[in-house]
Structure 1
């Protein structure tokens, strides 16, 4: 009867040894992430994204938010958003004058909405109190600064200083009401 109890223990010990050896050899370990694996399932790139259409809508607000896998910039318009250009640049420049806008960060996105930030009489529809800090991005993983670059001849631009040249996407969404939103999401990692 004592011999029967030893046999299962020996089999159990052999099984444990086999599992430990397999783990040590990496046969049971999960596959390591590679550079080709997208971060958080994101498959965005870092090349320029553009739509040349012009909009009759006006820029009315700029805001930011943090998400699990990316930081988000939202530009609110009072009508349908149409065209835009979003791209990494060596320096963000002010509309009209070309004066460089100083930004914190290691990489810089220039975002141009093909819509003015003023009405037909030239009255501003968006006039930030602090053009150098449109939104407080302290503590964001990717954003370092969001600054206004101006509105000139039907185009409105702003600059985003980011931690590094990271992948991004551009979306346009309807609402609220008759307005729309141009959204730029920048991933936290590659």
Structure 2
């Protein structure tokens, strides 16, 4: 009986300090984002070429848009220790605390080979977007980000007969 009373007294003390609560719930996610940071992929391979790569800033995330001339392409986006060039395997130098490899399953032979493919100066999450080349019908981009943060990838149809592969990376968890 004494052990039960001691246990009840300790539980009351802990609850009084706010360390446990019968109404405890998970913290509200940043901007309602539930994306996570694990690999995202879609297997679709297309022959319509990439026409441009652009970026944008939003209140809760930074965005990269890959425009295609035709139907939506598949993709593989994942955090990697190092992004490498297609074909050669040489490392692509990137700024940031974490690196996303963005493979778009469409050719991008007309994209410039550039370590500054898109200007992301002043962005909250992105530090750099670099072209890592196009090889055997797929194109790789290296994205340097501030830290390993949640991201999502999706495709959109349009404008016209074109489509887009979109990468959003959250500012916070």
Q: TM-score range, shorter-chain basis?
A: 0.7 to 0.9
Q: Which residue, out of 38, 47, 68, partners 1:56?
A: 47
CA drift of 1:69 comes to 0.0
Larger radius of gyration: 1
Cα distance per residue 1:113-155 (max 9 Å; x no partner): 111113xxxxx3xx32x60111111110000000000000001
Give the one of 91, 96, 111 matched to 1:105: 96
- 2:3 corresponds in structure 1 to none
For 1:110-125, list aligned pairs within 5 A.
110-118=101-109, 124=110
2:35 & 2:41 partners in 1: Cα distance? 14
Poorly superposed stretches of 4+, deviation over 3 Å: 31-34
Q: 1:96 aligns with which of 64, 81, 87?
A: 87
Please give the alpha-carbon distance, in whole angstroms, between the structure 1 residues aligned to 2:73 and 2:61: 24
Equivalent residues, number: 153
SS in 1 for 2:130: strand
Q: CA deviation at 1:76?
A: 0.4
User: Is 1:75 matched up with 2:66?
Assistant: yes
CA RMSD of aligned residues (A): 1.9
Supply the distance in 1 between the matched residues of 2:52 and 2:39 (Cα, whole angstroms). Answer: 23
Following superposition, the deviation at residue 188 of structure 1 comes to 0.1
1:63-105 Cα deviation digits (max 9, x unpaired): 0000000000000000011311000000011001111100000
Give TM-score, length-normalised by structure 1.
0.76
Structure 2 unaligned regions, length at least 5: 1-16
For structure 1, the 5+ residue unaligned runs are 1-24, 119-123
Using the TM superposition, give the Cα deviation of residue 33 of structure 1 relative to its aligned residue in structure 2, in angstroms. Answer: 9.2
Q: What per-residue deviation string (whole Å, max 9, x for no partner) do you get for residues 20-55 of structure 1?
A: xxxxx99xxxx9995x42110111010000112211
Secondary structure of the 1:46 match is coil
Structure 1 counterpart of 2:77: 86
Task: Give the TM-score normalised by structure 2.
Answer: 0.83
